[in-house]
Structure 1
Amino acid sequence: MSMTRLLVPIALMLACSGCAGNESTVAPVTSEEYDGGFEAYRSCLSDAGYQLRMEANDGAVIRFSVPAAAVESGVDVSCYEEHFATTDERWQLQNADSSKSASTLAACLEQEGITPASSMKDMVEQATAAGIDIGTCAR
């Protein structure tokens, strides 16, 4: 589950290529909103009998693992979508340039002999133009 969520900023960038200007129409997510959404998601899972395993919270991104049983039962996706998905996606997009996903993509581009651009959006465009499968970069 962590890998899927790590790639959310990249997937959103790809889905929104050509959405220039959309960033300014949505209010930024505060750290309080991000943390609050995560706590609501965690509580939802806990209420259903599942506990998240915390890996890190560096103030920028919360990294965690979800029990396989929560994923298999559908509780994870239900809780995530209801309590955290929109906030998490917006937070990751507004912090995309400094994210672990950006670092991973930059390293992937460098391995291919490409000097990475400074923004996540431009790095996604570089990878796409070079025919690089972004999904393989995270492995």
Structure 2
Amino acid sequence: MTMVRLGPWALVIAVVLLGGCSNSGTEQSTAVPAGWLKDADTSNVSAAQAEEISDRVATADEYHAAFARYRECLSAAGFELENVQFNHPVYEARVPNAAVEDGADSECYQAEFRYVDILWQNSDLVQEARDPSPAFRECLQERGIEPAENMNEILEQLREAGIEPPECLQ
């Protein structure tokens, strides 16, 4: 079985690679740059996912709907996700190895869930729920660096100090 889950260090890497931002509106803003989807190959996404990502924001309702479609797609291909749990704010599940080997997992994920999942995983809500900044702040302080106020600046401080984010999470 393959576990579908983004660990704290992977989220940090995604934040570092994609850049972060903060917005306290009711719609969840994302850390994904505005032009990001412009270059993404969305030719194999369903009409529902295309509509959900058209504003480059993933809401909780869109995330739940996209996951349900992904799960239904796998089921239609003869595979069932196991140990499905919604550990606020993300889904965790085991994907049968046969679904991965068959290509159904990749096909269903791409068509129904991939871009919504990326946008959601990088939303302010998810980032705040998995906020690794206390570890990063401590890591900087141990090196005599006064941590900045927001996550983007902290990540920049880590980069400038030559500190790889996973080093702070060990």
Q: TM-score range by the shorter chain?
A: 0.5 to 0.7
| Cα drift, residue 22 of structure 1 | 2.9
Residue matched to 2:41:
none
User: What is the RMSD computed on CA atoms of the aligned residues?
Assistant: 3.5
Could you give the per-residue CA deviations for residues 27-54 of structure 1, whole angstroms, max 9, x where no partner exists?
A: 5322111100000001111111221123
**Does structure 1 conserve the Cα–Cα contact (< 8 Å) formed by 2:12 and 2:165?**
no
1:106 deviates by 4.3
CA separation of 1:42/1:107 partners in 2, compared to 1, >3 Å: closer, same or farther?
A: same
Tell me which residue corresponds to 2:152: 121
Does the 8 Å contact 2:19/2:33 carry over to 1? Answer: no
Q: For residue 82 of structure 1, report the CA deviation from its aligned partner.
A: 0.8
Q: Does 1:31 align with 2:60?
A: yes
> Secondary structure of the residue that 1:22 maps to in structure 2?
coil
Counterpart CA distance in 1 for 2:12 and 2:89 is: 13
- SS of 1:63's equivalent? strand
Shift of 1:119: 4.3
* 2:67/2:113 contact within 8 Å kept: yes
Structure 2-normalised TM-score? 0.58
Question: Which of the pair has more CA radius of gyration?
Answer: 2
Q: How many residues align?
A: 134
Q: 2:13 aligns with which of 7, 10, 13?
A: 10
Instruction: State the identity as a percent.
Output: 31
1:87 maps to 2:109: no
1:47-126 correspondence runs (5 A): 47-95=76-124, 96-100=126-130, 102-103=131-132, 106-107=134-135, 110=138, 113=142, 119-126=150-157
Return 5+ residue gaps in structure 2 as ranges.
21-30, 36-53
CA distance in 1: counterparts of 2:127 and 2:83, whole angstroms: 24
- Inter-CA distance 61–119: structure 2 relative to 1 (3 Å threshold): farther
Q: Deviation at 1:68? A: 2.1
Q: Normalised by the size of structure 1, how large is the TM-score? A: 0.68
- Deviations 1:105-134 (CA, angstroms, capped at 9, x unpaired): 643663573676564434433433333344
